Structure 1
């Protein structure tokens, strides 16, 4: 995931490291190391506006259980954003402009596009109740944001199509 304004690339690798790469000089720094984590990082997205990373991980000692964590772009202040996921999110993206974290699950009973208000994350009494399933569909894939229209462009795998939905999950159009 890129942080274009600072010319940074953030990656996870199969060894369990989360690293940032300075594109200017190709320097790589590990900001999270596997020996200090209780989860195996699988995917991430960068909030370039607030300098945070959101990371999907598999709990190390509980196979097939997943978590979403957040830290700053230096690897500090690591917290759990969402726990208790029994299906691995297939895609995750943060929309820093509108203040939401989105992820998709591909599953027969829990499949869909989920949204969380990132302003609620720092209040531990609120964020577990603030996850909303805004699209109920079993076969969703990757997605991106259409900022001009405040929409999410979402791939529907079985239909082999991309649809535009509002930030509340209402079907807005088809591409």
Structure 2
């Protein structure tokens, strides 16, 4: 909208669930997958609060808390649950991230009795007036210059890939007889 407010938009694998319902679909970016998804226990909205914890951590540190060269290594680290917090990590942000990145759903912020209020009223967000934010009355720290609502000049121009995927020999192609 050009007002400087960010919007999260990657909902390619979003699924609408009734309150309390679970799904068993395994999909998503490896670094952001919650433990209950990896363990195929069925999952619902609490996975979104886990993802918020990963996002906050990554915005502060510059990388997610669980990294590895291979997805299986990432999954093992997620299940181990050990998070390294650099010294510069704000203590209130650390407290919030720990509450969001808890594997125990009965203790994960956002999934407790107070719901999202546990997050919105957390000390790390103490200076934010959520009503004013929702109304758009708080000036954004950065407002991009835009010619109109379709202007994409603020985004890096990434050319489409012209590379073809490597050829698969017929002997190794599982779909050769389809």
Query: TM-score, normalised on structure 1?
Result: 0.29
Give the number of the structure whose residues are more often strand, by fraction.
1
Q: Which has the higher contact order (CA 8 A, sep 6+)?
A: 2
- When Rg is computed on C-alpha atoms for both structures, the one with the higher figure is 2
Give the number of the structure whose residues are more often helix, by fraction.
2
Query: TM-score, normalised on structure 2?
Result: 0.28
